[in-house]
A and B are shown apart, each in its own frame.
Chain A
Amino acid sequence: MTTEINKELLLRAYRMMRRIREFEERVHVEFATGEIPGFVHLYAGEEASATGVCLHLRKEDYVASTHRGHGHCIAKGMALRSMMAEIYGKKSGICGGKGGSMHVADLALGMMGANGIVGGGGPLICGAALAAKIKKTDHVAICFFGDGGSNQGTILESLNLASVLQLPAIFVAENNGYAESTSSRWAVATGNIADRGAAFGMPAAIVDGHDFFAVYEAAGESIQRARSGGGPSLIEVKVNRYFGHFEGDQQSYRGPDEVKKLRETKDCLVLFRGRVTKQNLLTNKELDEIDAEVSNEVQDAVAFAKQSPKPQASDLLTDVYIAYA
């Protein structure tokens, strides 16, 4: 499999995962200082999922995300500066400071947003996929949701609708084992979310979300199926999140040392590096350079966010409608 992926793609994959990791780890630190308002939900640990899927996508393809949306935004190509500024509530944020972490979006890049409503992205993606079908393009639409969202009526309804209308939609269930504090072992009636694919008449796959290559392969197959008019698919990506549901969550519902062990044994970046260096596809030096560049990039984004001004009083009333006449 790895022989089909060229070096340029491997570098892009690593950079994308590192950007997400670095961004999230930094937001974790900055949030603790109290300077970031509201709630943030961090994606650290799940990078290979967003990356393995989104590396297949074009700018015109659509993605809808969850409250844990920073990873998908970065994977869809959103700029780090305006993302960070948005999280800080600054006017230079991608949403002008009016959305925040849970609503960060960039429609010009096909990023339909992080979403504060669990399962909210399902119907949106059916709409995006329907538009592609009617316009007779070969664009696709990806719905990311979690094990929590997998039980939401909107997701189940969306699976059904996408199948009935044979829409070019891919449903990616990122099962990190917890819906807030509640384990998926309790809340998901069957062991695997992928079992629901058959229930709604679409092909389904289960992949290890710490393995970029596995995600990339499964996503590639689903996206190709959708582009060629073969209809929707369901992919269940088994991942783990390192941080709490929200920043401030003490995670007392997780086993002792659970997160520590995950960081030691299930780090998608470490696993990627090990594999590509062992197979002489990339060198440690090349990867270290990316690490350093990304570190600077995130540092720049934070500095940009911190020195950006907040929105003004005159910004309060704008952009509720397109026309005020």
Chain B
Amino acid sequence: MARKISFKQAINEAIAQEMGRDETVIVMGEDNVGGMGGDGERDAWGGVLGVTKGLYGKYGDRVMDTPISESAFVGAAIGAAACGLRPVVELMFVDFMGVCFDQIFNQAAKFRYMFGGKAVTPVVVRTMIGAGFRAAAQHSQCLYSLFTHIPGLKCVVPSSPYDAKGLLIQSIRDNDPVIFFEHKLLYGLESEVPEESYTIPLGEANIVREGDDVTIVAIARMVHVAQQAAEELAKEGIHVEIIDPRTTSPLDEETILDSVARTGRLVVVDESHPRCNMATDIAALVAQKAFGDLKSPVTMVSGPHVPVPFSDALEDLYIPSPAKVKNAVKEVLEYAK
């Protein structure tokens, strides 16, 4: 039986193992070492939530802190990637993407296309997503759909420690720019993870739970919310199938369409803001390619079109709950023209 480690430790291990295997892999970001220049501990933080702790001790100068200047240091990671390194750069909160997005979406994403197929840009941008920390509007978003929108980027959103390690190792080895989204509320989640290095291909969804009544596609932490709803629904004799896409770009369309062909009903659970999110993308995919299979309209479960509120009383209303997922499942089951 494999030992259990946390989501956070799995990510740390993936990076450490790849750095051991490939000397071109470097790590950079704000406080990724932590304590640079001060009189206290070196590696004092190892990342704001400790995800990169210990890497500096193992690999020294290949792990570096950066000043708070995302345009400059994310851009530098991208330039270094185009020149033969494999940087793993941290954009601490995805909410900060605005201060460096040009480097990601106009430069890294388009070098291969604009330069006629001659550029290789193997950069990984790791970034935190998700609400539930009471961190308010500017620290709680899930913005993977904005990156998914850009041709030339790959987008990875793991929901478990096992997936996180395999997908991150794959991402580091991938020769295209990859954005790796880590839900901050999952960092403490533990599951069995092999000690050896392994990869999970990008673009392959995971069927987390099998069932014949309704297909649920859920992303990141919503996979666990959907599982809780599924347990409760099973007691009422309703058996749902839960699909975790694992990567939003490329998206495993086949697994989703095959499931809908069997169940005829789809609920998509996406913690992102509701407009132009992955739920709308997947709903449109199914409407376009599996219209004949549908017995009811697609239902999307997201928060409302508002910034993430601060007060816990409001934030708890914003984040999709198991109850909301259950209601959505019953809605598609009870639909009649």
Contact = CB atoms under 8 A, between A and B. Distances in A.
Interface of A: 37-39, 89-90, 95, 97-100, 102-103, 116-119, 148-149, 151-154, 178-188, 251-255, 258, 310-313, 315-317, 320
B208 interface: no
Nearest to A90: B311
B314 A97 contact: yes
25 contacts: A39-B134, A89-B311, A98-B137, A98-B307, A99-B137, A116-B137, A116-B138, A117-B96, A151-B69, A152-B69, A152-B99, A153-B70, A178-B38, A180-B48, A181-B36, A182-B65, A251-B40, A252-B44, A253-B40, A254-B38, A310-B312, A315-B314, A316-B314, A316-B318, A320-B305
Contact of B68 (A95, A99, A119, A315): A119
B77 to A, nearest CB: 15
Nearest to B72: A153
Contacts of A187: 36-37, 65, 67-68
Interface in B78-137: 95-96, 98-99, 133-137
B311 A252 contact: no
Interface SS of chain A: helix, strand, loop or mixed?
loop
A311 B311 contact: yes
A179 B65 CA distance: 11
A117 B95 CA distance: 9
A252 B44 CA distance: 6
Contact of A181 (B31, B72, B95): B31
A153 B45 CA distance: 24
Contacts of A182: 30-31, 34-38, 65, 67
B309 interface: yes
B39 interface: yes
B317 interface: yes
Contact of B314 (A179, A181, A185, A311): A311
B307 to A, nearest CB: 7
Contacts of A188: 67
Contact of B31 (A180, A254, A255, A320): A180
A98 B306 CA distance: 11
B34 A103 contact: no
B198 interface: no
Given A100-B311, A152-B69, 20 more contacts: A116-B136, A116-B138, A117-B99, A118-B68, A151-B67, A153-B71, A180-B34, A182-B31, A182-B35, A183-B37, A183-B38, A186-B38, A187-B36, A187-B68, A252-B44, A253-B35, A258-B39, A312-B313, A316-B318, A320-B305
Nearest to A91: B311
Contacts of B68: 118-119, 148-149, 151-152, 179-180, 187
Contacts of B98: 117
Nearest to B42: A253
List the 8 closest pairs (A to B, CB-CB), nearest first: A186-B37, A183-B37, A255-B39, A89-B311, A100-B310, A37-B134, A116-B138, A38-B134
Contacts of B307: 98, 320
Q: In the complex, which of the residues B34, B37, B70, B135 has the most CB atoms of chain A within 10 Å of its own CB atom?
A: B37
B139 A98 contact: no
B334 interface: no
Contacts of A119: 68, 99
B311 A310 contact: yes
